[in-house]
Amino acid sequence: MGQLDIHIGEILARNARLYPNDVALIERVPAEGTRKEITWKQFDEQANRFANVLMQRGIKKGDKVIHLMMNSLDWLIAYFGIIRTGAWAVPLNFRFSGSDIKYCCEVAEPQCMVFSEEFTERVTGIKDELPTVRDYIFVGKEVPGYAESFERVLEKAPSTPSNIRINHDDPCGLYFTSGTTGQPKPILLTHKNMICACITENIHHYQTRKDNFILIPPLYHTGAKMHWFGSFIVGGRAVILKGISPEWVLEAVSQEKGTIVWLLVPWAQDILLKLDGGEIKLKDYDLKQWRLMHIGAQPVPPSLVKHWKEYFPNMAYDTTYGLSESTGPGCVHLGIENEHKVGAIGLPGFNWETRIVDEEGNDVKKGEVGELVIRGEGVMREYYKNPEATAKALRNGWLYTGDMGRVDEDGFIYLVDRKKDLIICGGENVFPVEVEDFLHTLPGVKDVAAIGLPDERLGETVGVIVEAVPGKTLTEEEVLRFCEAFPKYKRPRKIFFGEVPRNPTGKIEKPKLRKKYIGIEEAFKIK
C-alpha cells in the first residue's frame, strides 16, 4: 500500500482485518447504568454502511457533512462513514447556538447534516435558512418529520466498502474554533494531518494494543480524538465515557482496566478535591494498570501535578500542547520522562520544529519572551475561505500560534500566555498564567483567572477572579496578603470571587470574564 493510499479510514479497515473480533469501542453512560461495545469488524461495517447511506443520497468527494452530536459510538461511526465518501466531516461544538450553527453552515455550505436528539430544537429553528442542506439524518428516537432515522437507514444499507480513492493530501475535515474570541474560524485539515496526529501521539505515549484509552472530552474537538488516535493506529481499545464525575472516571478505569486517561484541569481538580475530602477512596477501585494521566488544552498549574503525584506516585504524567490548527496535540509535549520539568509545556514533538520569535519573526534570545511558532505535517492547510487570516497565521511554512513563550537553558518551552491576554501595567508586561499559577498554590483556591482591568494612570492593572474550593472561605485580605510575595506591578489590585468559566476543552473564557468584571470595575475606577 503506497503512501497516497494511507488515510484515516483505511486504518479502521486495517484494524478490522487484523483484529476483527477484538473489542474496539465501549460506551458507558453512568447516569443510566448502561454499557455497550462493538468489535473492530462491527465498527468497520457500520462505518461502511453510513458511507453508503450518504452516497445513496448524492454525497460525493469534496462535499461537506455537518456532524452535530454528543459523544457516542454513533459519533465515531458517522465520522468514519463521512470521510470514507471523500466528503469533509464538519464536527460542531455542542455548545453552539442555533445562530452559530447557521453561521458554520453558511461558511461550509454542507449538503447533509447528521445530528442527535440534543440538537433538535436548535436545528429545527434554523433549517429553513440552510439552503444547501438537502438531507437530515437524525440519531435518536423522536425523529423530526424532516429527517431520516440514522438507525433505520443503516439497517438498509450494504456494508461493502465505498472504494472512493482518497489521497494523503485530500481534505478530511473542517473544524471550527470554539468561538471564545469571536466568530468561530474554520480550519481545513487533511488526511496527512490526521496521520501525523496518529503517529505523533503514539510515539509520545508508547501506546500498544494492550492499552485502553478512557475517552472523555468532546469528540468534535481535535484534542480528544487525536489523543485517542495514538491507540487507534495500533488497534488499542477505547472507552467513551458519557458524563463526567470523579466517581465515574475512577469506575471506568477500574472496571474497564483503563490504562490512559486524558483529563482537563477542572476534572483533575475535582478528583483531587474528593480525594482530599474523603468522599472517594482509592482503595475502592482497581487502578494498578492506570499507567498515564496527561493534560492538555490549557496551562497546567504545577501545584496540581504535585498534588496529583501525592495520590498517584507511580503513575506517569505528561503535558501536551497543541491547537486545532496543528491537528490537535503533540507539536510540543513535556514527555513522561521529564516530570522534573513540570511547568514547561515541553520540547518540540516528534517530527515537529519550534521557534520563539519577535514581532518581526526573528528568533529571540534564550530566556526572552516571544511568540511560539511551529512547523510540521500536522499544520492545517488554511483557514477555509479566509485568506487574510491564513496569511497572518501561516508565514514561510511556520504556524504562528498566538501563544507567548520562552525557552530555558535546556531547550524546554514555557508558555507565558496568549498574546491577546497580555496585561500591560505601567509599561511592564504581566502574563496572566504566571499570576494564576502563583495563586493556585494558595490553600482553598480551586480555580483562578487573571485579567487586565482599565486604569487611568497605569493603563491596566491586574484583577483576579478566584473560585474557592467548595466549603472553603477566602477573603480579599487573605488573597492580597498572599500576593505580597509578588513584584508590586504583578500583584492583583482587585479580587473578585466567583466561578471561573471554562469552555468544553478546558480553556478559561477570558472574554466572558472581561465583559462581566470590567463592566463592574468601570463603575468605581481602581486608583
pLDDT of 216 over the 70 cut: yes
Instruction: Check if the beta carbon of residue 40 is closer than 8 Å to that of residue 17.
Output: no
- 88 and 76 in one domain? yes
Q: For residue 100, what is the domain's CATH number?
A: 3.40.50.12780
13 lies in some domain: no
pTM over 0.95: no
Please tell me the predicted confidence (pLDDT) of residue 456: 66
- 453 and 345 in one domain? no
Please provide the DSSP assignment of 398-462 as one string. EEEEEEEEEE-TTS-EEEEEEGGG-EEETTEEE-HHHHHHHHTTSTTEEEEEEEEEEETTTEEEE
Q: Which residues pair with 363 in a beta bridge?
A: 357
Please tell me the predicted confidence (pLDDT) of residue 302: 86
pLDDT of 223 over the 90 cut: no
Rounded Cα–Cα distance for residues 454 and 366 (Å): 32
pLDDT tens digits for 401-432?
Answer: 988 899 999 999 998 766 677 786 766 667 78
Please tell me the predicted confidence (pLDDT) of residue 431: 76
Provide, rounded to the nearest whole percent, the portion of the chain with pLDDT above 90: 71
Tell me which of 390, 418, 446 is where a domain ends.
Answer: 418
pLDDT of 457 over the 70 cut: no
Q: Tell me the mean pLDDT in the region 454-472.
A: 84
Q: Tell me the mean pLDDT in the region 11-28.
A: 98
pLDDT of 520 over the 80 cut: no
Please tell me the predicted confidence (pLDDT) of residue 472: 87
Q: What is the mean pLDDT of the chain?
A: 91
Please tell me the predicted confidence (pLDDT) of residue 413: 95
Please tell me the predicted confidence (pLDDT) of residue 526: 39
Task: Name the nearest CA neighbour of 130 among 99, 172, 166.
Answer: 99
Q: Residue 371 — pLDDT band, cuts 50, 70, 90?
A: very high
Tell me which of 160, 190, 220 is where a domain ends.
Answer: 190
29 lies in some domain: no
Please tell me the predicted confidence (pLDDT) of residue 512: 84
Q: Tell me the mean pLDDT in the region 219-234.
A: 91
pLDDT of 525 over the 80 cut: no
Dihedral sign from CA coordinates of 146, 152, 154, 156: negative
Q: How many domains does the chain have?
A: 3
Q: Residue 502 — pLDDT band, cuts 50, 70, 90?
A: confident
- 346 and 407 in one domain? yes
Q: What domain range is 508 assigned to?
A: 422-521
Please tell me the predicted confidence (pLDDT) of residue 522: 46
pLDDT tens digits for 311-360?
Answer: 999 999 999 999 899 998 899 999 999 989 998 999 999 999 999 999 99
11 lies in some domain: no
Tell me which of 164, 190, 216 is where a domain ends.
Answer: 190
319 lies in some domain: yes
pLDDT tens digits for 466-495?
Answer: 999 988 889 999 999 998 887 777 889 889
- 377 and 307 in one domain? yes
- 437 and 408 in one domain? no
- 292 and 215 in one domain? yes
Q: Residue 453 — pLDDT band, cuts 50, 70, 90?
A: confident
Q: Residue 503 — pLDDT band, cuts 50, 70, 90?
A: confident
16 lies in some domain: no
- 466 and 351 in one domain? no
Task: Name the nearest CA neighbour of 185 among 77, 104, 99, 274.
Answer: 104
- 52 and 156 in one domain? yes
Q: Tell me the mean pLDDT in the region 39-60.
A: 98
31 lies in some domain: no
Q: For residue 461, what is the domain's CATH number?
A: 3.30.300.30
Taking every pair of Cα atoms in the chain, the longest distance, rounded to a whole number of angstroms, is 71
Q: H or E element: which one contains 169?
A: none
Please tell me the predicted confidence (pLDDT) of residue 224: 81
- 454 and 408 in one domain? no
Is 69 or 434 the better-scoring residue by pLDDT? 69
pLDDT of 527 over the 70 cut: no
- 498 and 436 in one domain? yes
Q: Residue 180 — pLDDT band, cuts 50, 70, 90?
A: very low
- 429 and 315 in one domain? no
468 lies in some domain: yes
pLDDT tens digits for 187-207?
Answer: 999 999 999 999 999 999 999
Taking the alpha carbons at both ends of the chain, their separation in whole angstroms is: 69
- 346 and 234 in one domain? yes
Instruction: Check if the beta carbon of residue 267 is closer than 8 Å to that of residue 216.
Output: yes
Q: Tell me the mean pLDDT in the region 73-96.
A: 96
